[in-house]
Amino acid sequence: QQMNPPVMPSILLVISTVHAFQYTELVQYVDSHQEEYVEALRDWVAIESDSSNVLKRPDLHRMMEKAAQKLRLMGGTVELVDIGEQELPDGQMLALPKVVTAQFGNDSNKHTVCVYGHVDVQPAKKEDGWATDPYNLTDINGNLYGRGASDNKAPVLAWIHAVEAYQALNMELPVNVKFVIEGMEETGSNGLDAMILAQRDTFFSDVDYIIISDCGWLSTRPALTYGTRGNCYFFAEVEGPKQDLHSGVYGGTVIEPMTDLIGILDTLISPSGKILIPGIRDAVAPLSDEEWRMYQDIQFDIDHYKSKIGVNQLMYSNKVDVLAHMWRYPTVTIHGIEGAFSDPGTKTVIPAKVTAKFSIRQVPNMDPAMVKKQVTDYLHSVFAKRKSPNTLKVTMVIGAKPWLADTQHPLYEAGKAAVKRVFDTDSDLIREGGTIPIARTFQDVTGKSIIMMPIGGFDDGLHSQNEKMSRYNYIEGTKLFIAYLNEVSQIRKTTV
């Protein structure tokens, strides 16, 4: 004889059905407002908010005001925070674009999430090789082409539209949502660190979690990002004669700065990619068995990766090695030499002073101050062995730290659940090879937990010609953010 089923499961069933029903309504709302979302992106892409071009600064101010106005119209508590001025190389002072902060909801019984994004872009011109006008959003086969579409205007809009969807259906937001939107990310986020520090005990005081959506998937599978590399950027300057010399007249009598510089640069890294600077590799966190297994499961096609960048051979031949060296091992890259002759044609010059620019992508547990000392000491010791009369000066101009999150944190569990709900697949847990310094700043200053939740595609062409955001990622990404807010609301308050 069958027992009557206990009452409890059916109550749970009712609760989850209510959630599912609301999610369905929200999804239908997003689907029916797709064109509106594309038009909003078109409006934003049309503004040439290039933070590196001082002549475009009025456009950048207009972009910040436009973002603020959109949030105001939704009823948010919005502020345009003045973060001061920047000094240009000629000594002139220029106002920095204000940082937009906004708040929706202040229920102390709910979690508060803070979404970070930026609305400035890299430079772009049609003649750089774009197939379309970079500032006129163009839809080709479901891809929305335009500068800043993926990095970072569509993700910022998707977050705004996620909040807007709840509002439009008169549904209570499951968590309080705050926004921090800046306009100088592409040139180093001038003024933002100071603002975060200044508002640590005010705007950020009640924030539980910080979400950054300024990155992309690795493949066609949705991803959650839990780490980035840092960046130590160096100048190595070798100076010799008081002026440039003619190689016909003086070649063979002077010890040339360029020869010295090339000689010491060649001692930084071996042909197989091994960093030769003593001590650098000793500080690198060892690859754990669990990490190795995670890399095994990630969807990544080496052949596709090679064809995308146009090479027939990589430094490593298997997936785990390639991913590990892209994300969690340091690397040395030589970027260029200032003062060298680089124009077309021939010029028989001995440059009097040349400056090499190179960087080391940093990983846990490397410390920028230690890297600076190791590189400086090493290059001076190598240079001394050359017994050259020229002078060497080494300076570190950037010392950005890496960032790493705990993938076991409930924020990531919530992320996996949201991805599963929207895309009906498991998410890849990935790291970024590049540097997003603001993540580490948020972590160090606020002490809050951070997740990076990308919606950009692996082939969006950030910083490149023909940057795009696919309509699919933009719209489904909005649903992902809607689902994620709901998942985060269910993290138990006791969880730190």
pLDDT exceeds 50 at position 7: no
pLDDT digits (tens, 9 = 90+) for 381-407: 999 999 999 999 999 999 999 999 999
Domain boundary residue, one of 400, 425, 446: 400
Regarding whether 371 and 333 lie in a shared domain, the answer is: yes
Residue 5 forms part of a structural domain: no
Answer whether 152's CB lies under 8 Å from 118's CB: yes
pLDDT digits (tens, 9 = 90+) for 335-358: 999 999 999 999 999 999 999 999
pLDDT exceeds 80 at position 20: no
CA-to-CA distance for 402 and 430, rounded, in angstroms? Answer: 14
pLDDT digits (tens, 9 = 90+) for 161-189: 999 999 999 999 999 999 999 999 999 89
Instruction: Give the pLDDT of residue 493.
Output: 73
Least confident of 17-26, 188-197, 304-313: 17-26
Residue appearing with tokens 């620019």: 357
Write down the catalytic residue from 185, 256, 460, 467: 185
Residue 480 forms part of a structural domain: yes
**Collapsed DSSP state (helix, strand, coil) of residue 317:** coil
Instruction: Give the pLDDT of residue 495.
Output: 45
pLDDT digits (tens, 9 = 90+) for 458-489: 999 999 999 999 999 999 999 999 999 999 99
Write the CB contacts of 337 (distance below 8 Å, at least 6 apart in sequence). 258, 261, 354, 355, 356, 357
pLDDT digits (tens, 9 = 90+) for 303-340: 999 998 999 999 999 999 999 999 999 999 999 999 99
Regarding whether 396 and 411 lie in a shared domain, the answer is: no
Regarding whether 82 and 100 lie in a shared domain, the answer is: yes
pLDDT bin (cut points 50, 70, 90) of residue 258 is very high
Domain boundary residue, one of 400, 429, 444: 400
CA-to-CA distance for 203 and 273, rounded, in angstroms? Answer: 45
Angle at 254 between CA 252 and CA 258, to 5 degrees: 100
Q: For residue 77, what are the domain limits?
A: 23-228+402-490
Residue 170 forms part of a structural domain: yes
Answer whether 263's CB lies under 8 Å from 386's CB: yes
Regarding whether 224 and 107 lie in a shared domain, the answer is: yes
DSSP 152: I
| CATH code of 235's domain | 3.30.70.360
Regarding whether 482 and 379 lie in a shared domain, the answer is: no
Regarding whether 103 and 244 lie in a shared domain, the answer is: no
Regarding whether 411 and 336 lie in a shared domain, the answer is: no
Regarding whether 76 and 104 lie in a shared domain, the answer is: yes
Write down the catalytic residue from 48, 50, 120, 460: 120
Least confident of 18-22, 188-192, 227-231: 18-22
Closest CA to 360 of 394, 317, 322, 321: 394
Residue 13 forms part of a structural domain: no
Residue 484 forms part of a structural domain: yes
What percentage of the chain has pLDDT greater than the value 90?
A: 93
Closest CA to 78 of 171, 168, 173, 178: 178
Regarding whether 114 and 54 lie in a shared domain, the answer is: yes
When divided into structural domains, the chain yields a total of 2
Structure tokens at 332: 């040395």
pLDDT exceeds 60 at position 63: yes
Angle at 58 between CA 56 and CA 60, to 5 degrees: 75
Domain boundary residue, one of 372, 400, 428: 400
| CATH code of 117's domain | 3.40.630.10
pLDDT digits (tens, 9 = 90+) for 220-250: 999 999 999 999 999 999 999 999 999 999 9
Closest CA to 118 of 50, 53, 165: 50
Q: What is the mean pLDDT of the chain?
A: 94
Regarding whether 95 and 187 lie in a shared domain, the answer is: yes
Regarding whether 32 and 50 lie in a shared domain, the answer is: yes
DSSP 361-400: EE-TT--HHHHHHHHHHHHHHHHHHTT-SSEEEEEEEEEE
pLDDT digits (tens, 9 = 90+) for 361-373: 999 999 999 999 9
Residue 294 forms part of a structural domain: no
Question: How many angstroms separate the Cα of 133 from the Cα of each of 40, 46, 128, 419?
Answer: 17, 10, 11, 33
Residue 18 forms part of a structural domain: no
Regarding whether 341 and 234 lie in a shared domain, the answer is: yes
pLDDT exceeds 90 at position 277: yes
Instruction: Give the pLDDT of residue 494.
Output: 61
What percentage of the chain has pLDDT greater than the value 70?
A: 95
Residue 458 forms part of a structural domain: yes
Residue 120 a catalytic site member: yes
**Collapsed DSSP state (helix, strand, coil) of residue 95:** strand
